[in-house]
Amino acid sequence: EADIYQTPRYLVIGTGKKITLECSQTMGHDKMYWYQQDPGMELHLIHYSYGVNSTEKGDLSSESTVSRIRTEHFPLTLESARPSHTSQYLCASGVSGGTYEQYFGPGTRLTVT
């Protein structure tokens, strides 16, 4: 079944640790996105990619980085986690040409202590 996956779903980690949030999709979409969302709040786009080896920063400045080496994989990395990075991170993918909708993964809730 075509889907979009995120791991881990929940992560509690100490300050200064390096973390990577995984995102994979099996829908063959060339567009992928990362959003940051605080509880009960709006979504903010932090990174996007329109294809392999193409990444751009989003509308909200973030200390995280991303890579897109394979079409289906779009990991997000924080080199040194801080309490201000505590949030929910949502990954999405979108179709090329046509209707612009995005499909979301279940999210990773990150807590930095």
Partner 1 sequence: AQSVTQLGSHVSVSEGALVLLRCNYSSSVPPYLFWYVQYPNQGLQLLLKYTSAATLVKGINGFEAEFKKSETSFHLTKPSAHMSDAAEYFCAVSGGSNYKLTFGKGTLLTVNP
Residues of this chain that bind partner 1 (CB under 8 A)? 6, 31, 33, 40-43, 45, 48, 50, 58-59, 90, 92, 94, 98-107, 109
CB of residue 3 to partner 1, shortest distance in Å: 11
> Token match 């990362």: residue?
34
Residue 79 or 92 with smaller CB distance to partner 1: 92
First to last CA, the chain: 36
> Token match 């991303």: residue?
66
Residue 3 or 79 with smaller CB distance to partner 1: 3
Distance in angstroms (rounded) separating the CA atoms of residues 76 and 82? 15
Q: Which amino acid type is present at position 90? A: L
Distance in angstroms (rounded) separating the CA atoms of residues 111 and 94? 28
Residue 35 or 85 with smaller CB distance to partner 1: 35
CB of residue 80 to partner 1, shortest distance in Å: 26
CB of residue 2 to partner 1, shortest distance in Å: 14
The two structure tokens encoding residue 28 = 């063959």
